[in-house]
């Protein structure tokens, strides 16, 4: 009888251990997901950029010193991409802080800045905008002035909705930071390395 009870006890313990394995595995999987993994951000570069990147922070940690040249094209080799790799959790987009300085020598009266998300295996780009203390399109920056910008959460929420409609996940997308149009007080605009002015024959059109 004693031997039988011991056998029953051992069988019971074995069942408990086996049943506990899936729970332990789930716990380990969750722990792994919570850990930091390598992320990357591409940075679009163009000639004559009026705004200099002073600092780039992810989750309050500066990663500017980790930025490396990825590619360069154009006659002067000033167009292309830089890249920076860092350790962070998913949804790191909402923890991006970028400091820019007006190095144009002119007064900036508004500008645009975006994160572009490109899902794997797709040519589609999904844009989400940045903001400062107010909308960047209405931001005044004197020469030498600096501004810190962050992701506009309302814009990002709309982007997430569009991504999900197509069945894509933001955390698996390639991510690129890019300046858009920069407007100056003299009426000129900078865009992707080119200075533009209004076409006198068509005020809705901008020309080099």
Distance (Å, whole) CA 191 – CA 169: 30
Average pLDDT over residues 92-110: 96
- Residues 31 and 51 placed together within one structural domain of the fold: no
Q: 199 to each of 11, 99, 109, 112, how far by Cα in Å?
A: 86, 33, 20, 21
Q: Are 181 and 112 in contact (CB under 8 A)?
A: yes
Query: Would you state the pLDDT for residue 12?
Result: 38
Query: Closest Cα to residue 57, out of 37, 84, 91?
Result: 84
- Residues 64 and 28 placed together within one structural domain of the fold: no
- Residues 107 and 24 placed together within one structural domain of the fold: no
Query: Would you state the pLDDT for residue 207?
Result: 82
Query: Would you state the pLDDT for residue 7?
Result: 41
- Residues 67 and 145 placed together within one structural domain of the fold: yes
- Residues 60 and 6 placed together within one structural domain of the fold: no
State yes or no: pLDDT of 9 exceeds 50: no
Query: What is the band of 193 on the pLDDT scale with cuts at 50, 70, 90?
Result: confident
State yes or no: pLDDT of 17 exceeds 90: no
- Residues 14 and 106 placed together within one structural domain of the fold: no
- Residues 95 and 62 placed together within one structural domain of the fold: yes
- Residues 121 and 25 placed together within one structural domain of the fold: no
Distance (Å, whole) CA 175 – CA 162: 16
Domain boundaries, position 14? 1-35
Domain total of the chain:
2
| Model pLDDT for residues 141-173, shown as the tens digit of each residue | 999 999 999 999 999 999 999 999 988 999 999
- Residues 95 and 15 placed together within one structural domain of the fold: no
Q: Can you list the positions of beta strands (E) in the chain?
A: 37-45, 51-58, 61-62, 68-73, 79-88, 96-102, 108-118, 126-131, 146-151, 174-184, 189-191, 194-199, 202-207
Distance (Å, whole) CA 34 – CA 89: 7
- Residues 179 and 198 placed together within one structural domain of the fold: yes
Q: Are 102 and 141 in contact (CB under 8 A)?
A: yes
| Model pLDDT for residues 32-87, shown as the tens digit of each residue | 444 678 999 999 999 999 999 999 999 999 999 999 999 988 766 678 999 999 99
- Residues 62 and 125 placed together within one structural domain of the fold: yes
- Residues 91 and 183 placed together within one structural domain of the fold: yes
Query: Would you state the pLDDT for residue 198?
Result: 87
């Amino acid at each position: 009888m004693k031997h039988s009870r011991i056998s029953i006890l051992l069988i019971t313990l074995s069942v408990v251990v086996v049943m506990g394995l899936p729970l332990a595995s789930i716990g380990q999987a969750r722990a792994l997901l919570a850990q930091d993994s390598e992320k990357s951000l591409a940075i679009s570069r163009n000639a004559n950029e009026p705004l200099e990147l002073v600092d780039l922070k992810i989750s309050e940690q500066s990663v500017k010193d980790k930025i490396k040249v990825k590619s360069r094209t154009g006659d002067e080799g000033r167009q292309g991409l830089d890249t920076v790799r860092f350790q962070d959790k998913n949804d790191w987009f909402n923890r991006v802080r970028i400091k820019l300085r007006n190095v144009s020598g002119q007064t900036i009266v508004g500008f645009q800045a975006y994160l572009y998300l490109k899902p794997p295996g797709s040519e589609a780009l999904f844009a989400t905008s940045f903001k400062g203390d107010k909308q960047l399109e209405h931001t005044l920056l004197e020469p030498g002035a600096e501004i810190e910008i962050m992701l506009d959460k309302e814009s990002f929420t709309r982007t997430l909705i569009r991504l999900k409609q197509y069945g894509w996940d933001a955390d698996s997308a390639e991510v690129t930071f890019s300046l858009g149009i920069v407007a100056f007080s003299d009426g000129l605009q900078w865009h992707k390395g080119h200075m533009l002015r209004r076409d006198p024959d068509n005020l809705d059109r901008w020309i080099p």
